[in-house]
Amino acid sequence: MGVSGLADRTERRLLALLAEDRPDRRTFPDRLRKIGALQGVPAFSAAMQLLAQLRLSDTVAERVLSKILEHRERLTRALGRDPGLRVSAADYLHNVEQRLTNPMIIERSQFEETERSAVTDPLTGLYNRRFFASTFEREVRRGRRYGMTLSLIMLDLDGFKEVNDEYGHLFGDLVLRRVAKLVRRAIRESDTPCRYGGEEFAVILPETDRLGAYAVAERVRRRVVRSFAERTTGGRGVAMTVSGGIASFPEDGEVLEDLVHRADESLYRAKALGKDRIALHPSERRGEVRYPARASAHLEVGAVSGSEWLPVLALNLSRTGALVATPAPFRPLEAVRVALTAGGREDGRRRWLVQGRIVRVQPRPAEGHHIGIAFDQPLPESCLRSQTRAAGTARDAVSGSTR
């Protein structure tokens, strides 16, 4: 990511345009505007940063680029040849406007490698803590300005110190690199994965609420478990798991320190609850995130001692509970059976049976009753995913699929 905050695909489009070096002055601004409108970025500002490493507002950048194109035409007439966009830009910015006082000529690939090494962790290839802080501050400012949410995931490898002590630091490095790769593949291009320190990782999720962050963190957790269970590392079979905590802007804080602290508290809770899990903050009323139920979710509730089932409308579900709407009242603390069915055809349907207890009954005049049910045993992952609209699915559909 050469230009801070610019998606790779957008940067590639701008670089391809700038690489022409002799673009048509009449169509060049319109082509930039088209890229900006399509990708939702200040294209003139980004182009100036790519061209000359100058940070200008989009309005000022558009004016300066126009002046550079005019200067290129004057140089062409004076020299009898077209010097190109880059030479014209260097001459104009250094000798005319004097925005560059001591420009350096360097091959772009070499510059990008130097720039990348300053913001990335050399072991894992993820962004480093310095880049994490600057990116987070920028995303928080953007969230305040446009009223958007933002989430942070803090992840920590379980039992890493013991593995590192037993097999050595070189083996520990292999584990860290492997986990870093799994994290990177589980998130969007617009997310920012960082090595926060030691065996701790952080992921910044722009435009993502708490449910979306939970879904992403769970995806990372599952992939780590599966990857280390199925494949060896450096010829050794070790079982690795990861615990995580979540904080969201603005609910959990509006400055970096508060959000990191809140996410860390959630992470410590995950460790205290037994590790290999993603935990919410202790102030949350529920220990598990509830997801909106699919419109096609099919639930039935019945008394433990009876044989009849009452179809109910599922509103949301978690691994340990459900909120349903029903015309028939149930008594608080009443023990019930719950049947969850998935599948379109009778021969392909799956049915899960759990027992639970009514923990809340809230009459709704227009809707009957909203009833909260706490399950005695957690739902299996396959049941939960079949019955709910996972937050990560909607998030990825809007922002691009995961790798």
Which residues form the catalytic set? 199
* Helix, strand, or coil (residue 229): helix
Token pair listed for 172: 């520990």
Token pair listed for 46: 């980004």
**Chain centroid to CA 196:** 16
Give CA–CA dist 291/313, Å, rounded: 14
- Of the candidates 246, 244, 219, the one whose C-alpha atom is nearest the C-alpha of residue 158 is 244
Would you give the DSSP letter of residue 305?
T
Give CA–CA dist 183/202, Å, rounded: 10
**Are 322 and 373 within 8 A, CB to CB?**
yes
Give CA–CA dist 224/239, Å, rounded: 9
Question: Residue length, the chain?
Answer: 403
Give CA–CA dist 44/57, Å, rounded: 8
Give CA–CA dist 157/366, Å, rounded: 49
Give CA–CA dist 292/318, Å, rounded: 9
| Other beta carbons less than 10 A from residue 153's beta carbon | 27
Give CA–CA dist 208/149, Å, rounded: 6
Host H or E run for residue 141: helix 129-146
**Are 285 and 326 within 8 A, CB to CB?**
no
Strand order through the sheet with 278-279: 192-197, 200-206, 150-158, 241-249, 278-279
Host H or E run for residue 88: helix 84-91
Would you give the DSSP letter of residue 379?
P
Token pair listed for 198: 């030691």
